[in-house]
Structure 1
Amino acid sequence: MVFFSVVIPLFNKANHIENTIKSILNQTFTDYEIIVINDGSTDNGEALTRGFNDGRIQIYSQNNLGVSTARNLGIEKSKGKLIAFMDADDFWFPNHLQELANLYYDFPDCGIYCSRYKIRISKNHFQTTLFNGIEQSFRGIAADYFFSNRPFRITWTSSLAIPKQILEKIGGFTPEVTNGQDLELWTKIGIKYPVALTNKTTAIYNNNIPNSLAKNHLNSMQLMDFEQFRLSEKDNPSLKSFLDLYRLEYGLHYCIFGNKEKANFYLKDVDQKNSSLAVRLLLKMPAVFLRFFLRLKNALKRIGFDFSIYH
């Protein structure tokens, strides 16, 4: 058994996959395997991966079934004690796996182990992540995970590791969910288990290309079922506030493209005290103005200025 299994879903990331794998192979902690799941790519990303000729790299192929199914296959094929996830266009500093291993040794009963990370929002601009109520120097178990999981998320996919037995017990990613599948799984685990966090920044999240919000894509998305958390929310105000943040985000995105029915489906369950004045004002605007503001936000992001109206 290896200590870490690094699971990478690969779909048309030929421009990034080599740098991503190099950052894994440069780790100071070397007891790991790399499992790449080619999710029906049409570029040469798999060929580039095979070019490393490293015995720790395993490659499996499937039809384009989506990132959830790809990650679940990686978990199934893994032999590691901990599963570390890596997206095919992200980057680890050499200390990443060592820091997560140290965290596991010091706090062995947690459900998720997380490192700090930076976000690349444009070619030469980065954001430093901050978490409610947690100092930059803090290392340990988050006292209130859902409260602290904003304005940035403690659990970002490429900065965390989870014991394989917990993933098997929870059931992995929901294949039918095509957007927010990681958010759903981390929420399930965060309700049942403690979450530990390092004070070291060990990864870069490449978020410099705005997510596609084309109307056809948005309306075909399958989002997680919030109903599954209804009972837990009643007993945990921090969880309720955290999930309302995403109900608002999804609702506003549907408003942007004029789908009031789907917008109201998510917005109807939001507690108004969890909604900022800025969001409430935007929700009253015509869709054409919302689309203009979205284009403006993305233009600002490309020159290194990013913000969120949800916090």
Structure 2
Amino acid sequence: MLSADLAQGDAAEGRPPVSAASVPRVSIVVPAYNAAGVIAATIQSVLASTFTDFELIVLDDGSTDGTAEVVRSFNDPRIRLTRHANRGMSATRNAGLRMSRSEFVALLDADDVWHPEKLALQVALLEQHPEVDLCFTEFQAWHGEPAEAFFARRGDLRTEDRLTGWIYPLMVLTNFTLPSSVLYRRRLADRLGPFRCEDHQTDDWEYFTRASRLTRVAKLSTPLVLYRQSASSLSKRVPRRNATEDMRSQLLARFGWQCPHGGAVNRAELRRRQHLGRLRHADVHVARGSLGLGLLDFARLIARGPRRHAAAMTLAKSLRRRALGLLPRSASAIA
């Protein structure tokens, strides 16, 4: 039976509901908010896929630009557009999941781009490994520049051993699964339920960590997604809350240190990442956010350790960048 959201979405676009006999193998869920300038490249990359048995569900999340018009300009019956008032990323993904009907589900952000072989390789891997319910891939950071080498690269079914299998202990450390790189089975989606709608920065991390307790996963080693990095995002207001550290704490409180299949979280590595996460939060605030909050975070790091001297040196560099108006470095550069 078609969901209410699906029937409403089809009706809104003047199309009759799709019959069960025409269900494709893959449903691709694309939330889109004010994406008129980038979504054409995203859709074109999906239509160029060597795997063609899919439906592309684009959900316009209350856009105020021409996002819907760009989507409508593609004359392909596999594209289905629905529009609703602004709900946010996670709620919009949930609406798309309710509308999807296929054996496999793929997520794709409205500004990212796929390699033509992505879907074919992921479907092939899941077909070969019935014990695996979720497959994700390596990705490549991208700023919208020409990427001939990315598209010319040949994909294969090689997997990254460390992130293949029961990976819950690693998922607590950090989110390895870029949503645009994920393909998973309907049976897993049904077991998982919806995304939480608490923080768009970390809702997907919680969702895929939840998944890592329910199934083996596999990571394809080849980069098969261009992950768009927007220069404008660097100038946005710095959040006062340290969402990354809050989510790590929530994951441990919600799911514990052990996984029935994946073993235990590495406590030493967790402490190291927590320290770097707090250092990053302090650094970004001193450099371009709330100076008072950043100084307070640095005071705690220097008082409690570890690596007090390194924290003090980072503080000095952060103050210098603030004075010069320079953007802070990446978290990895702080280590």
Q: Shorter-chain TM-score: what band?
A: 0.7 to 0.9
Distance in 2 (CA, whole Å) between partners of 1:165 and 1:83 is 10
Partner residue, 1:234: 257
* Counterpart amino acid of residue 332 in structure 2: S
* Counterpart amino acid of residue 140 in structure 2: K
Distance in 2 (CA, whole Å) between partners of 1:126 and 1:263 is 43
More displaced stretch, 68-77 vs 217-226? 217-226
The alignment status of 1:109 with 2:135, answered yes or no, reads no
Aligned partner (choices 294, 308, 311) of residue 332 of structure 2: 308
Given that 2:173 and 2:270 are in contact with CA atoms closer than 8 Å, whether structure 1 keeps it comes out as: no
Aligned partner (choices 219, 225, 249) of residue 240 of structure 2: 219
Change (3 A) 1:228 1:154: closer
More displaced stretch, 161-170 vs 33-42? 161-170
* Counterpart amino acid of residue 249 in structure 1: G
Q: Which runs of 5+ in 2 are unaligned?
A: 1-22, 151-156, 259-263
Aligned partner (choices 88, 91, 100) of residue 66 of structure 1: 88
For residues 191-224 of structure 1, give each alpha carbon's deviation from its aligned partner in whole angstroms, at most 9, with x where no partner exists: 3321112243322111252634644x61389776
Aligned partner (choices 18, 27, 32) of residue 54 of structure 2: 32
- Report the RMSD for the aligned CA atoms in angstroms: 4.1
Distance in 1 (CA, whole Å) between partners of 2:62 and 2:133 is 31
Partner residue, 2:181: 159
Partner residue, 2:280: 252
What's the CA shift for 1:117? Answer: 2.3
**1:158-237 superposed matches below 5 A:** 158-209=180-231, 211-212=233-234, 214-215=236-237, 218-219=239-240, 225-230=247-252, 232-235=255-258, 236-237=264-265
Distance in 2 (CA, whole Å) between partners of 1:32 and 1:111 is 18
Q: TM-score, normalised by structure 2?
A: 0.70
Distance in 2 (CA, whole Å) between partners of 1:68 and 1:169 is 17
Given that 1:121 and 1:127 are in contact with CA atoms closer than 8 Å, whether structure 2 keeps it comes out as: no
* Counterpart amino acid of residue 40 in structure 2: E
Distance in 2 (CA, whole Å) between partners of 1:200 and 1:166 is 24
The alignment status of 1:295 with 2:319, answered yes or no, reads no
The alignment status of 1:19 with 2:41, answered yes or no, reads yes
Task: Select the structure of larger CA radius of gyration.
Answer: 2
Change (3 A) 1:171 1:239: farther
For residues 122-153 of structure 1, give each alpha carbon's deviation from its aligned partner in whole angstroms, at most 9, with x where no partner exists: 7368999xxxxxxx954677156367779996
Given that 2:134 and 2:184 are in contact with CA atoms closer than 8 Å, whether structure 1 keeps it comes out as: yes
Distance in 2 (CA, whole Å) between partners of 1:112 and 1:122 is 28
Change (3 A) 1:83 1:211: same
The SS at the match of 1:211 is helix
What's the CA shift for 1:9? Answer: 0.7
The SS at the match of 1:308 is helix
Q: Quote the sequence identity (%).
A: 22
The SS at the match of 2:137 is strand
Distance in 2 (CA, whole Å) between partners of 1:111 and 1:239 is 28
**Count of residue pairs brought into register by the alignment:** 291
For residues 229-269 of structure 1, give each alpha carbon's deviation from its aligned partner in whole angstroms, at most 9, with x where no partner exists: 225453322488469737843663356134369959x98xx
Change (3 A) 1:225 1:92: closer
